[in-house]
Amino acid sequence: MSWFNSSKKSESAMSKLSKKIFGMSLLCAETLKPDLEKKFGKDSKIFNSKYIPVLFEFMYFFIQLTDRYAFNQLGNERRNKLYDALVPATIDATIETFFGHCPQNIKDGIERDFYSNLNNAQMDYGSCKELLLDPKDDTRILEKIESGAKSKSMVGQLTDNLSQIIEGKININALFPILICEVVIESLKKKELQTLVSEASKEIK
């Protein structure tokens, strides 16, 4: 992928943060890839219609999490400046990586959809006070099905959103939330996003 082959000399911290969000999202999506291939067929049209939205959902999640880290570290004004610089760079590079061969009007449509979905995700994930909750403290599955209530945790919402993409319904598989929790927590262990937010903030005018 061309994005990762670029020279690292004098690479900006903002670029590193953008690449880290993409890289973490890709690693998480790759965890689900074997199951998607088994269900829908390797490289099939329906597989691609699932895999790319799964990748993008992880990106929405990690962008929101980065936004939270930025708010905690920088305050609202500088957080907004970082977000305004980070998101376009992340979207442009992601689209170029996966859809660089496509006509410009297709890429423009993907970009519009990404922004629209990201804005919705920002509101939904932003309503969660906790990254993760014990299932007994989160919204019950029956309540989600009956009333459309959302999970109270970010990882819970991520799990339900991914299930909607893959299965077309709220998740009822007991193992799926465990898998999503594990890949997310593993991605966050080194606290790289927090460090890169701090470094990138020094480049904000």
Q: For residue 40, tell me if it sits in a domain.
A: yes
Q: For residue 125, tell me if it sits in a domain.
A: yes
Rounded CA-CA distance 18/63 in Å is: 9
Q: For residue 147, tell me if it sits in a domain.
A: yes
Tens-digit pLDDT profile for residues 115-151: 999 999 999 999 999 999 998 999 998 999 889 889 9
Q: For residue 192, tell me if it sits in a domain.
A: yes
What residues contact 139, with CB distance under 8 A and at least 6 apart?
149, 150, 151, 152, 156
Cα separations in angstroms, 63 against 15, 39, 67, 106, 179: 14, 28, 6, 23, 20
Ordered alpha helix ranges (H), the chain: 13-40, 45-74, 76-99, 104-126, 141-147, 154-167, 175-188, 192-201
Other residues' Cβ atoms within 10 Å of the Cβ of residue 13: 17
What are the structure tokens assigned to 170, written together? Answer: 């709220």
Range of the domain at 86: 12-201
Q: For residue 167, tell me if it sits in a domain.
A: yes
SS3 173: coil
Domain count, the chain: 1
Q: For residue 1, tell me if it sits in a domain.
A: no
In tens digits, what is the pLDDT along the chain, a chain of 205 residues?
545 555 455 789 999 999 999 999 999 999 999 999 999 998 899 999 999 999 999 999 999 999 999 999 999 999 999 999 999 999 998 998 989 899 999 999 999 999 999 999 999 999 999 999 998 999 998 999 889 889 999 999 999 999 999 999 988 888 999 999 999 999 999 999 999 999 999 998 7
pLDDT at site 135: 87
Rounded CA-CA distance 69/31 in Å is: 25
Nearest to 120 by CA among 54, 78, 61: 61
pTM of the model: 0.93
Q: For residue 2, tell me if it sits in a domain.
A: no
- 136 CA to centre of own chain: 25
